[in-house]
Structures are given as C-alpha cells and as structure tokens.
Chains A and B, each alone.
Chain A
Amino acid sequence: MESQWLSLLDVSIDFDQSHLFFPRIVTWILVILLAVILLTRYRLLVPGLKHAGRVLAGREGEFDRKRFFGTLALTTVYFYMMGVLSDVFPNTGYSFLICSIVFVFSLSLLYVGQLSRRLVVIIVLNALIAPAIAWYVLAQLFRITLP
C-alpha cells in the first residue's frame, strides 16, 4: 500500500529535456505566487498604479523628474557612446576616458543645486581629474580592460 502511494511520486527526467525540468517548476511556482499576490492585493493595485502614474507625470508627490530621468538618459547615452567609441579606439580605454569626462561633468551639473563660478570650477576639475586618474590607475598601471 505504502509503495503504491510512493509510486505516485516517481519521476523520470528525459536528458534531452532536462534543461527545462527545473525552470518549469520554478516558473509555475512564480506564476502561482504572482496570482496569490494579485488576488490578495487587487484592491491596492489599481489605485497604486494610478498614483504611480501621477507621481511619474509630476502631478503629485515630490518626485524630481528632471534629476531622475536625466540620470537615466545620461547613463544610457554614456553607455551607448562608450560602445561606439570603443570601436574607434579599441583596447586603449580612451573611449572610457572621453565618455567619462563628459558624463561626470554633465551628471554633476544635473545634480548640483545652484551654480556659482566656484562650483563650476570644482565640477570641471572633478570631471577632468577623476576619470583621468581612474583610467591611468586601472588601464595603465593595473592593465584592467576598459572600453
């Protein structure tokens, strides 16, 4: 009797399909958990989404859209340009150096509150010196691969 019950738990794994065996189980658990979360929180879901939409659109809350989306945009352009320039200067790290100088300068300008001549000088020096040091130490001294 006991062995009959145990035989219900028998399993054989086809080697050709073995790469899907565990992911299928995990995917099902994930779907079930998601369904439970949605069912237990459905009352909060729609108002929550509406609130998030209003915050992102800048109609509600204290969401700094300029700095948030600016960070995302600058980071995306930084990564993209680094890839493009690394084809022009392969295996030298120049792409990293050039793009980092522009990126650090732009992002610092985006983040700083009120600009003054002193602050601009600090930001420019920081944008020139820090990436140059990073490039020299990592690419030249330590021979670490840079874009």
Chain B
Amino acid sequence: MDILSHLTPMFFGLIAAGTLIGIIFGAIPGMTATMAVAVCLPLTYAFGLENGVALLLGLYVGGISGGMVPAVLLNIPGTPSSICTTFDGYPMAQKGEGERALKTGIVASIFGGLFSAAVLFFFAPVLADFAIKFSNVEKFLIILLALTVIASLCSNLLMGIFSGVLGVWLSLIGTYSIMEGGNGETRLMFDFMEYYLIDGFSLLPVLIGIFGLTTVLLDAETGFKGDSEHGRISLKGGKKFSFGVFKGQLTNLIRSSGIGTFVGMLPGVGGSAASVLAYSQEKNFSRDSSQMGKGAPQGIVSSEASNNALTGGALVPLLSLGIPGDSTTAILIGAFTLQGIQVGPLFIGNNMDTWYLIIIALVIANVLMFGIMYFAIRHIAKVIEVPKYILYPLIIMMCVVGAYAINYGIMFDVWTLLLFGVFGWVAHKIGLETVPLIIGFILGKSAEIYFVKSLESYGNYSIFFTKSPIAMFLWVLIAVSLAFAIYLNIRNRRQPEVES
C-alpha cells in the first residue's frame, strides 16, 4: 500500500498546522479561508503534492470553521459563510451562553464536514467516470453552464455575466499554446508587452491580488473602523455546553449538511448562500422556530453544519470536472497545477493514492478542527483582539512571496499582484462580481480549446446543439439557470416597489 507511506508525522503535522492557522484567519473579521490559502500557498512550494494538499485542506476547513468565533462574540461574521451564525450566536452570547453557542457550532461543523467528505468520496468518482465520456463539445458546454450558473446567482445578472466574460477575456491574453494545438501566436496585447505577457497572467498572482491585497485596500479606505473591541463578550461563566442541545436536531443536521454540500457543488455560489438557505429551511420546517433569531441553538446548528459541508461539496466539481466550486478551491486548482497535476475527469482514476489522501486529509482536518476548537476555544477567542496594523503588513509581505516564487522568481508576477489587487478594489466599487470573474479566468483557456477544437472537427456551429443528448440536456440546464436568474431579478425589482 503506497498510500501508507504518505501518512507520515509530517502529513498529520501539516494538517494540524493548516487547521490551526485557518481557524486563526477565519476568526479575524475580514480575513477569509480563501485568504488563508492564498497567503500560505508559498509554504506548499517546498512540499510534494500530498503534503501541500494536506496543509491547504487544513487551512480550508479551519478557515471556514473559525468564522463562527467573531460571529458569536462580536456579531460580525468572520467569514461570509458564518453570516447566519450571528443571528442566534450573538444573542446567546449576550445571555452569557457564548461558550455554549460556540461549542454547539463546533459540533455542527464537524458533522457537516464529515457528511460532505462522505458525499465527496462516493459521488466524485461517479461524476468523473461519467465526464470521461465527454467530447470537446460537452466539455465546452459544461464550462458554459458553470459560468451561467455563477452569473445567474449574482445579485445582478448582467454584471455577473459581464464579469465572467471579462475573466475569460483576461485569460486569453498571451500565446495560443502550441502544446494545446494552437498556432503559437500572441493576442490581445501590444508588441512591447510580449516580453512580460507571452504566457499571459499567472493564475496565482491574480488570485492572491484579488483576495489578499484587495481586502487590505478595502479595509484601509475605512480607516480600520471594525478594528475595535466594541461589543465584545466574555466567555467566562454562563450556562455550560452539553450534547443534550442536539436532542431533536438530527433532521436539522442532515438537511443543513445536505444543503451545504449541494450548494458547494454549484460553482461559485459561496458559503453565505449555503448558510442562509439552510437557516431559512430550518425556520420553515422546524416544529418550533419561534426562538430563532433570539438565541436558539438550532439556528447555529443549521448555519454551521451547512457552511462546513460546503468544503467537501466544493471539491466535487473540482476533482471530477476540473471546475472550482468556490474561490478557495479556485486557489487549490492553482496549487494542483503547480505540482504538475491537472484536475478533471481523469484525475481520480490516474491518481488514486492522491485521491485517497485528499479524503483522509479532509476527514482528519475536520477531526482536528473539532479537537482544537472544542478544547481551546477560550484561547482562540483571543485572536480577534490581534490588531490589523500588525496583521495586514505581514499579509502583503506573504502575498509577495506567493506571487514571486510561483514561477521561480519573476518580478512581473509581483506587479501582477498589485495590478489585480487594485483591479479587485475597482471591481468592488463599480459592482463587478469577483467570483464569476475568477472562474471565467480559470476556465477561459480551456473553453477556447474545446470551442475551437469542436469547430475544427465538425465545421458547423450547430454541433453544440446536436452532438449528443448530453449536449441538449446541458442546454436545457443553461436555459433553466438563466430563466431562474431572470425570475429572481424581476422579483427583487418588484419587492422594493411593493414595500415602498
């Protein structure tokens, strides 16, 4: 068993370190799991694939889980995915039940995390086996569907689609690669740029810029107003936690974990949607939802089970189709590429050891997250006091390392980080959607290859509609997602009119 040789103390140590660092990042308001993965990415350059992935998955699980700490103690979600934890967590903390609220969230988190790991283990290989049969036409349509779904779930459909197409356009800058069957010519740039952009913008400096530097700039413009102890609640004293709080919560746990896993599979939807959806379903279906929003543990259970279930769900499309499920897995795709691994339908079959190690790492990360947070929650809660004037300069410093080392020392990648950091800030101001932009950027080059190869083979645009029943089914899904988005847009426009 080759796999056992990878289960070294280093492997477990890296998961533990990743989980702990992730929890710390998640616990600091404004810093997300994505940022944790982006900032710690350079550390994986020194490791092999298995150890690198162990660290990154620990960061991912820890980052999502840590978000509940400020949600309960400060009424500020540490990560967007813990938005609904504030609804009941903070009122509980105000009543002196802060530790009880946090431990309820921790237990729900491990349930959600393990549930989604099981779904990932059983479902991803099936999806990958199915996707192996796809031709270039179906592969192009899958990418089109992913971009449509992401854009349709944005607050503004038009801006969502524009952002996704802009991401695709940016990915096309550079050479039409001969390795991929292209003619080796450059495009979308002036001649003087060829020296720098012959291979286009590197993925990771772009991601690190948008998720690292942009966050710092957005906070800098506010003058770090959230960097205070206002509203902070102590964990000392109050009602103790007992597992009795989960009596009658099994349905809630399973439903919320299922919702989180499913939402995670949809590309780019994000943890906040999973949390809100699970919370609203619990409110609709529970026998007694009268206390929800006033400090009911069931609200924390639904929110935390769903957002941790997102982790395994988001890895399903990544590992079976090569399509990232959220912004954090978008960075993971970069980490895989760095190690010379192409994720997609062939990944699991060709890398069985790595596949099993990913599942093991995910399970261990959840167990360690539980152990670290459950027994050390009082110490972890102190993290929210670390001031941003100490943290943010260090984050920019680590962003530089990540960008510079990615191609073994190219200063242009560092400038790319700055360029896209500022671009991310501007995008935020003018209402561009970051997630479709990033997913478009990641999938753009593949979309081009599949599109052009399909037309070179068949010589007619109608092939995208008539190639196979799967192609037709994918068009139906694209039409449904667009119709759903238009319906949501119309409903959202009417609602303010009715309210006014």
Instruction: Tell whether A and B belong to one assembly.
Output: yes
Give bound CA distance, A22 to B289, whole Å: 53
Distance in Å from the Cβ of B82 to the closest Cβ of chain A?
A: 25
Residue A96, interface by CB 8 Å: yes
Give bound CA distance, A20 to B404, whole Å: 30
Would you list which residues of chain B between 457 and 475 have a CB under 8 Å from chain A?
459-462
**A86 contacts across to B, CB distance below 8 A:** 411
| Cβ-neighbour of B401 out of A36, A104, A113, A138 (below 8 A) | A138
Residue B418, interface by CB 8 Å: yes
Tell whether, in the assembled complex, residue A142 and residue B186 are in contact, meaning their CB atoms are under 8 Å apart: no
Give bound CA distance, A19 to B198, whole Å: 13
**B176 contacts across to A, CB distance below 8 A:** 18-19
Tell whether, in the assembled complex, residue B183 and residue A18 are in contact, meaning their CB atoms are under 8 Å apart: yes
Q: Render B132-174 as a binary contact track against A, CB cut-off 8 A, 1 for contact.
A: 0000000000000000000000000011011001101100100
Tell whether, in the assembled complex, residue A71 and residue B216 are in contact, meaning their CB atoms are under 8 Å apart: yes
Give the A-B pair count, Cβ closer than 8 A.
Answer: 171
**B220 contacts across to A, CB distance below 8 A:** 64, 67-68, 70-71, 111
**B161 contacts across to A, CB distance below 8 A:** 33
Tell whether, in the assembled complex, residue B388 and residue A111 are in contact, meaning their CB atoms are under 8 Å apart: yes
**A13 contacts across to B, CB distance below 8 A:** 452, 455-456
Main SS class of interface, A: helix
Give bound CA distance, A111 to B392, whole Å: 9
Tell whether, in the assembled complex, residue A12 and residue B459 are in contact, meaning their CB atoms are under 8 Å apart: yes
**B422 contacts across to A, CB distance below 8 A:** 72
Q: Render B200-241 as a binary contact track against A, CB cut-off 8 A, 1 for contact.
A: 000000000000010011001111100000000000000000
Tell whether, in the assembled complex, residue B158 and residue A96 are in contact, meaning their CB atoms are under 8 Å apart: no
Tell whether, in the assembled complex, residue B392 and residue A29 are in contact, meaning their CB atoms are under 8 Å apart: no
- Say yes or no: A75-B418 contact (C-beta < 8 A), given A19-B186, A33-B158: yes
**A29 contacts across to B, CB distance below 8 A:** 165
Tell whether, in the assembled complex, residue A18 and residue B182 are in contact, meaning their CB atoms are under 8 Å apart: yes
Residue A146, interface by CB 8 Å: yes
Would you list which residues of chain A between 32 and 78 have a CB under 8 Å from chain B?
33-34, 36-37, 40, 52, 62-64, 67-68, 70-72, 75-76, 78
Would you list which residues of chain B between 356 and 400 have a CB under 8 Å from chain A?
387-390, 392-394, 396-398, 400
Distance in Å from the Cβ of B228 to the closest Cβ of chain A?
A: 10
**A19 contacts across to B, CB distance below 8 A:** 175-176, 182-187
Give bound CA distance, A104 to B456, whole Å: 53
Tell whether, in the assembled complex, residue B459 and residue A79 are in contact, meaning their CB atoms are under 8 Å apart: no
Q: How large is the interface on A (under 10, 10 to 19, 20 to 34, 35 or more residues)?
A: 35 or more
- Say yes or no: A103-B396 contact (C-beta < 8 A), given A23-B172, A37-B159: yes
Give bound CA distance, A15 to B185, whole Å: 11
Residue B70, interface by CB 8 Å: no
Residue B405, interface by CB 8 Å: yes
| Cβ-neighbour of A6 out of B166, B221, B462 (below 8 A) | B462
Residue B190, interface by CB 8 Å: no
- Say yes or no: A144-B405 contact (C-beta < 8 A), given A33-B165, A68-B220, A112-B389: yes
Tell whether, in the assembled complex, residue A22 and residue B46 are in contact, meaning their CB atoms are under 8 Å apart: no
Tell whether, in the assembled complex, residue A79 and residue B414 are in contact, meaning their CB atoms are under 8 Å apart: yes
Residue B448, interface by CB 8 Å: yes
Tell whether, in the assembled complex, residue A26 and residue B400 are in contact, meaning their CB atoms are under 8 Å apart: no
Tell whether, in the assembled complex, residue B183 and residue A30 are in contact, meaning their CB atoms are under 8 Å apart: no
Distance in Å from the Cβ of A102 to the closest Cβ of chain B?
A: 11
Distance in Å from the Cβ of B58 to the closest Cβ of chain A?
A: 17
**B408 contacts across to A, CB distance below 8 A:** 145
- Say yes or no: A63-B221 contact (C-beta < 8 A), given A10-B460, A52-B429, A75-B418: yes
Tell whether, in the assembled complex, residue B414 and residue A142 are in contact, meaning their CB atoms are under 8 Å apart: no
Give bound CA distance, A29 to B161, whole Å: 10
6 tightest Cβ-Cβ pairs between the two chains A and B: A142-B46, A19-B176, A64-B223, A111-B389, A107-B393, A9-B461
Q: A16-B183, A33-B161 are in contact. List 9 more A-B contacts (CB 8 A).
A: A19-B175, A33-B158, A33-B162, A68-B217, A79-B414, A96-B400, A112-B387, A126-B394, A144-B46
A sample of 16 inter-chain contacts (CB < 8 A) reads: A9-B461, A19-B185, A22-B448, A23-B187, A34-B162, A62-B223, A70-B220, A76-B418, A103-B396, A108-B389, A130-B397, A143-B46, A144-B45, A145-B409, A146-B401, A147-B404
Q: Which A residues contact B (CB, under 8 angstroms)?
A: 6, 9-13, 15-16, 18-23, 26-27, 29-30, 33-34, 36-37, 40, 52, 62-64, 67-68, 70-72, 75-76, 78-79, 82-83, 86, 96, 100, 103-104, 107-108, 111-113, 122-123, 126-127, 130-131, 134, 138, 141-147
